[in-house]
């Protein structure tokens, strides 16, 4: 039996989208630039995202935070709140109370998303043609583009997967 997937075919794929507006995922989940890295990690993990746009207070994109950015930050941030040579009985609260059993000391990372994000914004307007979107992504070697309105506010994101979803035989 011949597998039709392995035989050469004259099938052509067509992109069923004309503009960035057709391709984009509207109202993307984004991260504030002043959010902590811990908050950003929770957002990426909870939503299953590999990256998310970073926005300022006006809703304008100022960068991208990817899982890779977070991993690099975590690798570089080696900090031990309690050195191993301390016995837990020697530790106390600021008022001198001993820590109850089961408690541990943790130093909370106050690093913000703005400190570790990739501060590059590659964006297109919603009326950019699908061909322009693909050309930009290939030329810039990026996995996603932002879609911004005429005031620069983030209104959507186009990923490589969004383009693939619009391909049909």
The pLDDT tens digits of the residues spanning 133-146 come to: 999 999 999 999 99
pLDDT of residue 38: 92
Q: Taking a C-beta distance cutoff of 8 angstroms, is the pair 47, 157 a contact? A: no
- 């070697």: which residue's tokens? 141
Question: First-to-last CA distance in the chain?
Answer: 23
For residue 78, pLDDT beyond 80: no
Domains of the chain and any CATH numbers: 14-168 (3.10.580.10)
User: For 62-77, how does the pLDDT look when each residue is reduced to its tens digit (9 = 90+)?
Assistant: 999 999 999 999 888 7
- What are 154's strand-pairing partners? 148
Alpha helices in the chain (DSSP H): 20-23, 37-47, 67-76, 113-116, 130-140, 160-165
Q: Are strands 31-32 and 51-55 parallel, antiparallel or unpaired?
A: parallel
Answer with the residue of higher pLDDT: 93 or 138. Answer: 138
Residue 7 pLDDT class (50, 70, 90 cuts)? low
pTM for the predicted model, two decimal places: 0.75
Q: Rounded to whole angstroms, how far apart are CA atoms 107 and 98?
A: 18
**Is the alpha carbon torsion for 118, 121, 126, 131 positive or negative?**
negative
Q: Read off the tokens for 24.
A: 């984009």
Lowest mean pLDDT among 9-18, 35-44, 84-93: 84-93
In this model, does residue 130 exceed pLDDT 60?
yes
């Amino acid at each position: 039996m011949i597998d039709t997937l392995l035989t050469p075919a004259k099938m052509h794929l067509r992109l069923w989208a004309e503009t960035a507006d057709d391709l984009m995922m509207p109202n993307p989940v984004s991260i504030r630039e002043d959010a902590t890295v811990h908050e950003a990690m929770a957002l990426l993990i909870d939503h299953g995202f590999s990256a998310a746009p970073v926005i300022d207070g006006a809703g304008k994109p100022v960068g991208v935070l990817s899982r890779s950015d977070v991993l690099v930050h975590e690798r570089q941030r080696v900090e031990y709140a309690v050195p191993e040579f301390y016995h837990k009985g020697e530790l106390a609260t600021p008022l001198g109370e001993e820590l109850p059993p089961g408690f541990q000391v943790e130093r909370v990372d106050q690093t913000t998303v703005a400190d570790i994000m990739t501060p590059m914004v590659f964006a297109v307007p919603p009326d950019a043609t699908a061909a322009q979107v693909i050309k930009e992504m290939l030329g810039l070697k990026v996995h996603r583009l932002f879609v911004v309105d005429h005031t620069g506010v983030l209104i959507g994101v186009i990923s490589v997967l969004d383009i693939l979803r619009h391909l049909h035989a």
